[in-house]
Amino acid sequence: MSFLKINNLSVDYKMRKETVYAAKNVNIEVNKGEILGLVGESGSGKSTVGNAIINLIDEPGKVSSGSVILGDLNIHENSESIVKYRGNKIGLIFQDPQTSLNPILTVGEQLIETIQTHLKLSKEDAKNKSINLLKEVGIKDAEKRFDDYPHQFSGGMRQRVVISLALCCEPELLIADEPTTALDVSIQSQILDLIKKLTKERNLAVILITHDMGVIAETANRVAVMKNGNLVEIGETKKILTTPQQSYTKSLVSSVPPTNKKISRFVIVEKENKKNNIKILNRWTKKEISNQDLVQVKNLNKSFDDNFFTENSKNSVLAVDNVSFEIKEGESFGLVGESGSGKSTIAKMIVNLFRPSLGDIFFDKTCITKIKHRSELMKFRKQIQMIFQDPYSSLNGRLKVKDIIAEPITLHNPSISNSDLNNYVNDLLDSVEMTQKSADRYPHEFSGGQRQRISIARALATQPRLLVCDEPTSALDVSIQAQILNLLKDLQEQLNLTILFISHDLPVVRQMCDRIGVLKDGKLCEVSNTEDLFLKPSHEYTKELLHLMPKIESIYN
């Protein structure tokens, strides 16, 4: 007999015109001491199911049918009854520790209030209990930190606080909704270890909602796969990840970048998988690969300071610390590192959005950091283009797609005729596998993956030699990520592009890059060929990163 039984759970969102079924007849069972992974891409309804268990669905959504049985309690008997089980029997952890704590109450106040809501304890007892909890989740100096406000904790520590809040009234079921997505790998593994430890010690039933197959492979006992509100497949983790039965699960698993080998292309099951021929090729003034350094970065430094007047003083933060590397023409160079390691700062200095505090950047043997005249700089701007992380904010929502792509063309070539411009825009859309109809639409009509394609088309419009990709796929689902990465590979191959690829995601970098530089706290730890780096890393930090990265292959062990 399972501890948690979800029977035929459905969640509807009644909109003005139609009803959206966010979850349809979902049946899930979870045992005590077991971690159930709930995976799916965005919009699959995995978070909806998690929230529906404690009836925490935002208006106009509604649990329309089904029952949730916890032990021998029917907790959906009526809408009032669920409130007394929240926090008490069921704990919930949200994705972003930055926003899930109330900023103006101390950690202690939030803990005591929660404890006193459910347990009849005096303030003193509640305080002792909270301090013990904080110790249990691994917060040092718990007595002192008890009176701190959330912003005084780092991201990983906050997530620990969130976990202690979710567990403070000793629930028997824990629902963790993407608990590590906003965290760096090293902190992610700590938090996952903590969840595993607590599951065992407290004999919890845990539902772990995530999109990351690597996390699932390393933590979950069983997996449930969701798509469009339907439960596609459920079973032992090993079985689902190695011998999936449903075609959707198969394509999902094959889209995940493997961590142990380099593959030439991602297998995309649901779509015809062929190389795309690029029409803009005839417009491209193709250069022979010179095998020389296209970009040289020499002793680069960048410090940031709140205060303009005290730059370079003691208070300033050294975001980039004496970094040097070269990128050969035609190669893909990867920069990896955790948040705050300075990888985006370097990218912004290469495209000349930031000026370095010290050091030089050479592009095609010219020092671009010393250029004073705008007109001269424009020549280089044309040759270096950037693709940003967030496809939602990097496209101007008030412009049509064709105007977005045409803008850089007309900027660098004002005399281009209208018909020629239209043809060029259409060719660009073609080469990123978008239909020509999309030219007259606005960015909000497209999905994240399609928007990222538009960004790529815009970047290609000036026929750049260097493409700087700053986390181009981290906002996308795995299957879309696979498509975009395939596209970038094709483009690079046919157009002889040089790519600087920035990411925190080691498996992705392994698939994309020829050489990799590892950054930590603004310092470059090591630069080496991709395969060497993954097989025999020399720097301690690289070893640690590789060890901590969640591996989907770990399921075979």
Q: Is 200 exposed, middle or buried (0-12, 13-18, 19+ CB in 10 A)?
A: exposed
For the CB of residue 155, give the shortest distance to another protein in the complex, in Å.
9
- In the bound state with another protein, the residue whose beta carbon lies nearer, of 159 and 542, is 159
- Summarize the chain as % helix, strand, coil (round to 5): 40, 25, 35
Q: Are 87 and 102 in contact (CB under 8 A)?
A: no
For the CB of residue 425, give the shortest distance to another protein in the complex, in Å.
39
For the CB of residue 63, give the shortest distance to another protein in the complex, in Å.
15
C-alpha 85/C-alpha 516 separation (Å) is 50
- In the bound state with another protein, the residue whose beta carbon lies nearer, of 187 and 475, is 187
Q: Are 259 and 552 in contact (CB under 8 A)?
A: yes
Which two three-digit tokens encode residue 540? 């301690």
For the CB of residue 475, give the shortest distance to another protein in the complex, in Å.
18
C-alpha 552/C-alpha 545 separation (Å) is 15
C-alpha 381/C-alpha 479 separation (Å) is 32
For the CB of residue 190, give the shortest distance to another protein in the complex, in Å.
13
Q: Are 362 and 308 in contact (CB under 8 A)?
A: no
- In the bound state with another protein, the residue whose beta carbon lies nearer, of 83 and 263, is 83
For the CB of residue 186, give the shortest distance to another protein in the complex, in Å.
14
C-alpha 149/C-alpha 102 separation (Å) is 9
- In the bound state with another protein, the residue whose beta carbon lies nearer, of 96 and 514, is 96
- In the bound state with another protein, the residue whose beta carbon lies nearer, of 161 and 513, is 161
- In the bound state with another protein, the residue whose beta carbon lies nearer, of 98 and 254, is 98
- In the bound state with another protein, the residue whose beta carbon lies nearer, of 177 and 490, is 177
C-alpha 46/C-alpha 370 separation (Å) is 51
For the CB of residue 465, give the shortest distance to another protein in the complex, in Å.
41
For the CB of residue 50, give the shortest distance to another protein in the complex, in Å.
10
Q: Pick the closest to residue 26 from 41, 43, 5, 40 (CA basis).
A: 5
- In the bound state with another protein, the residue whose beta carbon lies nearer, of 140 and 398, is 140
Q: Pick the closest to residue 387 from 472, 322, 512, 285 (CA basis).
A: 472
- In the bound state with another protein, the residue whose beta carbon lies nearer, of 96 and 364, is 96
- In the bound state with another protein, the residue whose beta carbon lies nearer, of 57 and 399, is 57
Which two three-digit tokens encode residue 43? 């919009």
| Residue position matching structure tokens 């990123």 | 432
- In the bound state with another protein, the residue whose beta carbon lies nearer, of 174 and 502, is 174
C-alpha 168/C-alpha 342 separation (Å) is 37
For the CB of residue 105, give the shortest distance to another protein in the complex, in Å.
7
Residue 398, SS3 per DSSP? coil
C-alpha 150/C-alpha 15 separation (Å) is 36
- In the bound state with another protein, the residue whose beta carbon lies nearer, of 299 and 339, is 339
C-alpha 65/C-alpha 6 separation (Å) is 11
Beta pairing class for 515-520 and 498-503: unpaired
Q: Are 548 and 188 in contact (CB under 8 A)?
A: yes
Q: Are 219 and 192 in contact (CB under 8 A)?
A: yes
For the CB of residue 87, give the shortest distance to another protein in the complex, in Å.
3
For the CB of residue 25, give the shortest distance to another protein in the complex, in Å.
24
Q: How far is CA 513 from CA 164, 330, 426, 517, in A?
A: 40, 11, 29, 10
Q: How many residues does the chain have?
A: 557
Q: Kindly report the number of other CB atoms within 10 A of residue 337's CB atom.
A: 25
Q: Are 75 and 4 in contact (CB under 8 A)?
A: no
Q: Are 460 and 472 in contact (CB under 8 A)?
A: no
Residues that bind another protein (CB under 8 A): 54, 56, 58, 83-88, 91-92, 94, 96, 99-106, 110, 113-114, 117-118, 139-141, 145, 148-149, 151-154, 157, 162, 165-166, 168-169
For the CB of residue 307, give the shortest distance to another protein in the complex, in Å.
11
